[in-house]
Amino acid sequence: MTLIPNSFAPLQGASNFRDVGGYLTADGQRVRRGRVFRSDHLAGLTASDVARLQALGVRHSLDFRGVAEYTATPYAIAGIERVALTIEPTVIARMQALVAQGIVPSTEETVELMRETYRDFVNHNADTFGRFLKHVLEQPTPQVFHCTAGKDRTGFAAALLLSALGVDRATIEHDYLLTNQLYKRDARLEGKGPAHVMKVLWQVQPEFLHAAFEAVDAQHGGMAHYLNGAIGLSPQELAELKRMLLEA
């Protein structure tokens, strides 16, 4: 694993905004900076934040949030087209169903719910994540992708993109775990629940991402087969994505 310090480029109104570029691939190429960014939701951006995104050349925001999430915190940014890639936050619904039955999950049970959510990303949301990668491929201008906290749907999307570019899994996990340093929890978005449950839901753990990778390997024959199969990227599209996003 070869790491370099990533550029966080913090915004005033989004705590988990950062460049996906800068990392080295397994064969020594570097992911281009300034092309793809990941973030938590963009509804709280200040005027100076918007100016920075515009200065970066960002023209599309790829929004993984569910309908209720977007309705609660909508945004419109001049010059940036929002693209809905809707994935509903099913883990919240599962948790609410348990609480309604008077069941308070343990920390371990909550972790397992999160692991199941990541398996669902792999097996039930592949079409949406495929649309994400194809949008990145088809648009020549910089893009930002996000969900509410920029940690789970966004985290798996980043893992897929970096995997497609040839970044090793240890480096991908490093990028994934940066959320725990960067994201500032917002009680207004979290809903109510036991503190130990909410802590699991609003942070990331290696076990979550491992569950996704395990599903990719065990059920899809590895990342290359998953990208070509369920995700729907042809070998030619994968090669073009690398040409676009890796330094020569």
- The rounded mean pLDDT for the chain is 93
76 pLDDT exceeds 90? yes
190 pLDDT exceeds 80? no
* Count of residues in the chain: 248
If residue 38 lies in a helix (H) or strand (E), which one and from where to where?
A: strand 36-39
**The pLDDT of residue 154:** 98
**The pLDDT of residue 79:** 95
200 pLDDT exceeds 70? yes
Both structure tokens of 138? 């088809």
Question: Of residues 43, 92, 147, 204, which has the active-site annotation?
Answer: 147
- Domain range list for the chain: 18-245
What is this structure's pTM?
0.94
Angstrom distance (rounded) from CA 142 to CA 33: 10
How sure is the predictor about 164, in pLDDT bands with cuts at 50, 70 and 90?
very high
2 pLDDT exceeds 60? no
139 pLDDT exceeds 60? yes
How sure is the predictor about 98, in pLDDT bands with cuts at 50, 70 and 90?
confident
**The pLDDT of residue 70:** 96
**The pLDDT of residue 198:** 86
- Residue-wise pLDDT for 201-231, tens only, equals 899 999 999 999 999 999 999 999 999 999 9
- Tokens 């097996």 -> residue: 123
* pLDDT > 90 in the chain, percent: 83
Both structure tokens of 47? 């005027």
**The pLDDT of residue 7:** 60
The residues, ordered by sequence, that sit 6+ positions from 26 with a Cβ below 8 Å of its Cβ are 166, 167, 168
- Amino acid residing at 128: T
Which spans in the chain are helix H?
Answer: 47-55, 67-72, 90-100, 107-124, 126-138, 153-164, 169-177, 179-182, 187-190, 195-201, 206-220, 223-228, 235-245
**The pLDDT of residue 192:** 74
- Residue-wise pLDDT for 28-74, tens only, equals 999 999 999 999 999 999 999 999 999 999 999 999 999 999 999 99
191 pLDDT exceeds 90? no
Class of the CATH domain delimited by 18-245: alpha beta
Lowest model confidence (mean pLDDT) among 82-91, 107-116, 184-193, 225-234 = 184-193
Question: Average pLDDT, stretch 6-20?
Answer: 85
Question: Does 147 qualify as catalytic in the annotation?
Answer: yes
Q: What is the dihedral of CA 154, 157, 163, 164, to 10 degrees?
A: -140
Q: What is the dihedral of CA 156, 122, 72, 79, to 10 degrees?
A: 60
